[in-house]
């Protein structure tokens, strides 16, 4: 009787204790989930790869995080870096476009602020933010690619914006397709696979790696040709030459005539 009367509240206490333990467990589980959602994504924090750890420091040190977010999640001012891959990092930082100095229609090419080793570390870190994205391409042997075919591909796919010898050109609202004069073979390849800013993406199924190497070979060989007349004027042919001849040449003649006339 007593035991039963004692047992009853005893059993009830056990149930209560079990219930509160379950609540604590559920709360803990929720907390863990919340933490995993809020805490830095990827395995950067726990990664033992020294490149990744150094890259994370660089990500903060060079203020990448101020626009792209502490975890590269992007924001109002900058796109997300999750899943962009090492090629995008190598291109943007290697051409000096990132870190951005000021906001304008388009990021201009400038001297890179990081060394090659630092870019490699940064790329390694960004790669841990999320899977996907092309790796830094290998362009060895591009000199052996079919340069004539590359020229045909370039004129079909690239020349409309970059000009048929890669001199670059204007786009809408202050944007432009940059000149390819300074672009390295690796950077040209990276631009094709990642589609920086407003450039369309040319994945490996749109242009196979062999076709990309052919395009690179064409760009590099056409850019290294001599200009028989001195200033190439973008090598866009008789249009620019005639225009320069008429505007500059005739302008100089008229100016000289006016000057002589005014001093006579």
Partner 1 sequence: MSDETPETAGTPDEPGTEAPKTAAEASGSVFGRLKHPVSTGGAARQRSSSASAREIEGEVLRRGNMAPDVPDAVRPRRKVGRRRTEGTEAAEAAAEAHLSRPSDSDGTHFLPDSEHGTSEPLDPREDKFAELLVSGLFVLATLAVIWVCIAFFAIPAHERLGEWMNFSLGGGLAIALLATGAGFVLWAKRLLPHDVAVQERHNPYSPEEEELLAEETFLKGVTTLGLGQRTILRRSLLGIVALLPLPAVIMLRDLGPLPRKQLRKSGWKAGDRLVDVETKLPIKLGDLEIGGIKTVLPEGFGNVQEHALAPTMLIRFAPGEIRSKKERAWSKNDHVAYSKICTHAGCPISLYEQQTHHLLCPCHQSTFDMANDAKVIFGPAARNLPQLELDVDAEGYFVAKAPYNQPVGPSYWERG
CB of 21 to partner 1, least distance (A): 45
Tokens (6 digits) for 234: 């973008």
Q: How far is the CB of 251 from partner 1 (least distance, A)?
A: 16
Q: Which residues bind partner 1 (CB under 8 A)?
A: 149, 152-153, 156-157, 160-161, 169, 171-173, 175, 177, 195, 197-203, 205-206, 225-230, 260, 263-264
- Least separation, in Å, of the C-beta of 154 and partner 1? 10
174-196 in b/e form (b: 16+ CB < 10 A) is: eebbbbbeebebbbbbbbbbbeb
Residue 9 vs 230, nearer CB to partner 1:
230
Q: How far is the CB of 102 from partner 1 (least distance, A)?
A: 19
**78 CB contacts (<8 Å, ≥6 apart)?**
67, 68, 69
**Three-state DSSP class for residue 193:** helix
- Does 60 sit behind a cis peptide bond, omega within 30 degrees of 0 on the bond before it? no
Give the residue with the Cβ less far from partner 1, 120 or 162: 162
> Cβ closer to partner 1: 141 or 229?
229
d(CA 50, CA 198): 34
Q: Which of 9, 261 has the CB closer to partner 1? A: 261
Q: How far is the CB of 228 from partner 1 (least distance, A)?
A: 4
Cα torsion 210, 213, 219, 223 to 10°: value is: -140
Q: Which is nearer to partner 1, 1 or 264 (CB)?
A: 264
């Amino acid at each position: 009787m007593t035991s039963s009367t004692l047992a009853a509240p005893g059993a009830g206490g056990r149930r209560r204790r079990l219930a509160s333990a379950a609540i604590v467990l559920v709360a803990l589980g929720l907390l863990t989930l919340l933490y995993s959602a809020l805490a830095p994504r990827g395995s950067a924090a726990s990664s033992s790869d020294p490149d990744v750890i150094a890259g994370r420091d660089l990500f903060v040190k060079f203020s990448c995080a101020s626009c792209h977010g502490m975890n590269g999640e992007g924001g109002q001012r900058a796109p997300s870096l999750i899943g962009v891959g090492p090629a995008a990092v190598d291109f943007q930082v290697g051409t000096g476009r990132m870190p951005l100095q000021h906001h304008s229609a388009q990021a201009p090419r400038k001297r890179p602020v990081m060394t090659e080793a630092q870019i490699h570390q940064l790329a390694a870190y960004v790669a841990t933010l999320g899977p996907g994205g092309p790796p830094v391409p290998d362009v060895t042997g591009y000199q052996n690619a079919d340069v004539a075919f590359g020229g045909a591909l370039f004129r079909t796919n690239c020349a409309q914006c970059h000009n048929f010898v890669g001199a670059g050109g204007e786009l809408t609202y202050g944007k432009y397709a940059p000149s390819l004069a300074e672009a390295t073979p690796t950077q040209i390849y990276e631009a094709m696979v990642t589609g920086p800013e407003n450039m369309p993406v040319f994945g490996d199924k749109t242009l196979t790696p062999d076709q990309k190497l052919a395009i690179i070979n064409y760009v590099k060989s056409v850019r290294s040709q001599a200009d028989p007349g001195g200033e190439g004027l973008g090598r866009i042919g008789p249009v620019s030459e005639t225009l320069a001849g008429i505007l500059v040449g005739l302008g100089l003649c008229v100016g000289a005539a006016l000057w002589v006339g005014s001093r006579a």
